[in-house]
Amino acid sequence: MTPDQASTAEALLFDTWTEGRTLPALPDALRPATRTEGYAIQALLEQRSHAPLYGWKIAATSVAGQRHIGVDGPLAGRILAERVFPDGGTVPWGANRMAVAEVEFAFRMGQDLPPRRAPYSVDEVLTAVATLHPAIEIPDSRYEDFVTAGAPQLIADNACAAYFVCGPATTADWRGLDLSRHAATGHVEGRYTRAGIGANVLGDPRLALTWLANELSTLGLTLKAGQTVTTGTCLVPLEVQPGDAVTGDFGALGQVSMRFG
C-alpha cells in the first residue's frame, strides 16, 4: 500500500465516520491486506486531532470477542482527546450501530515506554504505570458488517473506537490486588445488571496492557507518559439505547458513570 492509498483510505473512513454513514468495505484498491497496512491507515487519523493523543484502546481481548469479529488476537486503536467525556457526562448517541457499552480497567502511564527490540515484561510495564481507573468504552464501526471485515480493515477503522469515559484514579492499593480475580459490574439504570471479572481481559488486564506496549513497540511507537490505555471489556458488553445511564462498579477500585444523549 502506497502512502497515497493509505491517505485516501483514511479520508474515506473519516468522512464516513463524521457523516454517520457506513461502508460495506473499503474499495479493493484501498483495502489493507495486513495488520501493518491497517495501522498505517489508522496512524493518519491522529493528525485530525487538535490535541495530543489521549491514549489507546484494545479491542478483542476475550476469546468470545475475537470469535465474534473473526480475528485471532487483540487490536489496538487510538483514543482521540475529542472523543473523551468526563465521568458522569452525557455521551451523544449519534449514528451508534453497535449500541453497546463496555466496562474496562484503564491505566494511565507515568513513564514512556519507547520502542525496543526486546519485548517489555509485565513488571516493566507496571512500573511505568501511574494510576488505575475504572472506565467505560463505547465502540462502533464504520462498516456495515464489522463481523466479517477482518483484522486489517478493523484496525484501519481505529479498532472500532468511538467514545471513552474515564473515571477517577483509584485510591486503593491496586498493585497489591490480583486484577485477574477482581470483579466488576455493569449497570444499565432501571433495566439490568451484568457481572464480570478481570480474567476476561486477555487473562488479566495487566497482560493486556503489556500486550499493547509491545504492539506499539513493534510499530516503532512509544507508549507515552500521560497516555491512558483502556484494556478491553471485562464483562459481556452492555446492550444500550438512547437515554440509558450506565455505571461501571469496580468495588474498592471505584466507579465510573455516563449517560447517552
Q: How far apart are CA 179 and CA 132, in angstroms?
A: 11
Q: Does residue 252 have a pLDDT over 80?
A: yes
Quote the DSSP letter at residue 252. G
Averaged over 151-173, what is the pLDDT? 97
At 65, the pLDDT band (50, 70, 90 cuts) reads confident
Question: Which residue matches cell numbers 484501498?
Answer: 30
> Across all residues in the chain, what is the average pLDDT?
96
Boundaries of domain holding 52: 3-260
Where residue 98 sits, what CATH number does that domain have? Answer: 3.90.850.10
Residue 69's pLDDT is what? 81
At 67, the pLDDT band (50, 70, 90 cuts) reads confident
Q: Does residue 200 have a pLDDT over 90?
A: yes
Strand ranges, E, within the chain: 55-59, 75-79, 84-86, 90-91, 100-109, 129-138, 163-166, 183-188, 192-197, 228-233, 238-239, 245-249, 255-260
Total domains in the chain come to 1
Q: At what angle do helices 3-18 and 35-45 cross, to 10 degrees?
A: 60
Residue 156 has a CB neighbour count (10 Å cut-off) of 31
Q: How far apart are CA 164 and CA 89, in angstroms?
A: 11
Give the number of residues written for the chain: 261
Q: How far apart are CA 127 and CA 54, in angstroms?
A: 20
pLDDT by residue (tens digit) across 171-197? 999 999 999 999 999 999 999 999 999
Give residue 252's region: left, alpha or beta (phi > 0; psi -120 to 50): alpha
Residue 64's pLDDT is what? 77
At 68, the pLDDT band (50, 70, 90 cuts) reads confident
Residue type at 148 in one-letter notation: T
Closest CA to 45 of 53, 33, 37: 53
Q: Give me 144's grid cell.
A: 456495515
pLDDT by residue (tens digit) across 209-245? 999 999 999 999 999 999 999 999 999 999 999 999 9
Please provide residue 14's backbone torsions phi and psi, each rounded to the nearest 5 degrees.
-65, -45
